[in-house]
Structure 1
Amino acid sequence: MIGEKEDWLRCIEMLFLPQEKIKNLLYCFLILNIIACTPQIDDLPPFQLANDLTVDGQRLVFQSARFSLTGAIEVNEENSHVFGVLELSTDEDFSSPPNSGGSIIRYPLYSVNNEISLPAFPMESGRYTVINETDFEVNNSVLQGENFVFPAEVFLSSNIDGTWAISFSGESGTVQVQFDIQAGLVQVSNSWRSAEGQHVNGTVALPLNYGTFRP
């Protein structure tokens, strides 16, 4: 009863508060509610698992990803880039030879060498430009300070003998790569084409074993 009486007294007091004070109380109430309902950045995952990639409009469902690091290499100056290969497969375990009908996309990634010491992960997340052989062999001066992919390769529908029904490499476009070591994930967003006009579009996000690398 005492608690109920105090609540009634507060309500009566509110009726006689100055209008400006009531407005201020309402503003505080609204701000507190907005803060309470806004998700904090630390609580949000960096990205969700996704599988929405198409090759010339045909959707492919990838099951696994793997990455191998080669080390620092010379592109247009000594040790200018770090080289690693990211691969996506429609097989769960990267069977060798691939299962009949399986497909693979291979991204040889050249990341600007920022002299990061192992076991820290040396590859940058972000935009990688898809380049062709001419850009790599002749016009490589434009690659200084740039992350790029060469050659981005697609291998579709493995035959029983280990050959591929269709294969092609990238001519131009971009690949966005997001490495998340803590979550053990990698996300690849594609927007590129081959010299023959095949288009690769869409995003794949899959678990990736980073081994002993650390953020």
Structure 2
Amino acid sequence: MTAVLDVSAISKAYGSDRILSDLSFSVEPGEHLLLLGPSGSGKSTLINLVTGLLTPDSGEIRIGGEAMTGIDGAARDDLRRRRVGIIFQTLRLVSALSIRNNLRMAQQLGSGRTDDAAIDQLLDILGIAHRADAKPRQLSHGQAQRAAIARALVGRPDLMVADEPTSALDDANAQRIAQLLIDTARAQGTTLLIATHDQRLRQFIPRSLDLATMAEAA
């Protein structure tokens, strides 16, 4: 079975500051993984490498068997659109478009087509079907979070990458978003890769990679 994500001997440095050194791991279909560590441990660098927004100094990354490394920027963009969904720390929704049209745009960019039935199903799963025609600024904070999750998942990506999705939330809301991510990813057949320093997420995703510990051992 082909791994959803395969990272092999990745290294990355900024000048003399080595952030990642010979890091290897894989995530199989049906698995989820936490990338743990405090600020500065390399979490954001690693997810930017995985999503093709940065290139490593050495090593290889494959998404669903396709190389994210050793290809040009346009090819990385294409692979990311087809196979990866990203939830950024900022919502990244187009303010002038309704939630439905934000999702249509994401579908069009990813696959070249739109599927309103899939949009309706995802919004229903996330509990915001009644806000499909609202603009992002008209949503509550919780609704906007769900819309951002919907945008990342609407193309049914193999891999969804989330950067600190719960660190600014209280316990109740962190639990709600974590469970929502897991339940929606399961319904969509998507693997989660979550970069966080939020130890509360361990109860939801038991498999983790502690980048700070690995750096100390290197």
When normalised by structure 1's length, the TM-score is: 0.25
Q: Which has the larger radius of gyration?
A: 1
| Greater helix share, structure number | 2
When normalised by structure 2's length, the TM-score is: 0.25
| Greater strand share, structure number | 1
